[in-house]
Amino acid sequence: MISNTINEILNEQINKEFYSGYLYLSMSAHLKEIGLNGFAKWTRIQAKEEVEHGLKIFDYLINCNSFVTLKQIRMPEFEFEGILSIFNHIYEHEKCITKAIMTIAEKADEENDRTTLNFIDWFIAEQIEEEEAVKNIIKRLELFGEDKVALYLMDKELGEREN
């Protein structure tokens, strides 16, 4: 049985995940506009992944006989200044998401809600992976992002992402 507090915080998280999808899509459009097609593809795939995260929580609530409340999704940023600032923005955003996921885990722990604790574990592992992947991209952009050939090669590499 999911408490009202857990229900509310999970519904908030659905909204955060869908917002993340919007944010990545907005970045993808911008990256496509400036010709970084590989980075655009990477962020577009990420957008899809975020929507899937939202749906995972959506399904969890339904499977637990709890209720889903879809809230308004705010407008994402659409003006960006350069590839490094986009990835720094992503990193900061993902850190906020990690914090939100940890808060869910803390609340579930306080309520001794083992089912939600078990469910949220997947998201904790996912956040570690996501933060690491983004940090890795940032490090490389900081190292040689000014070099156009290196940026071209990195764009090509990121464009190989399939899921």
Residue nearer to ligand OFO on the CB measure, 83 or 90: 90
Q: Which two tokens stand for residue 158?
A: 């990121």
Provide the minimum distance between the beta carbon of 144 and ligand OFO in the complex, in angstroms, as a whole number: 25
Binding positions for ligand OFO, 111-150, rule CB under 6 A: 123, 126, 130
Residue nearer to ligand OFO on the CB measure, 11 or 151: 11
Picking from 107, 99, 152, the residue whose alpha carbon sits closest to that of residue 127 is 99
Q: Is 116 exposed, middle or buried (0-12, 13-18, 19+ CB in 10 A)?
A: buried
Q: What is the DSSP string of 73-91?
A: PPPPP----HHHHHHHHHH
Closest chain position to ligand OFO (CB): 53
Interface with ligand OFO: number of residues (CB under 6 A): 9
Q: Sign of torsion, CA 25 29 34 38?
A: positive
- If one asks whether residue 86 binds ligand OFO (CB under 6 A), the answer comes out as no
Interface ranges with ligand OFO (CB under 6 A): 17, 20, 50, 53, 94, 97, 123, 126, 130
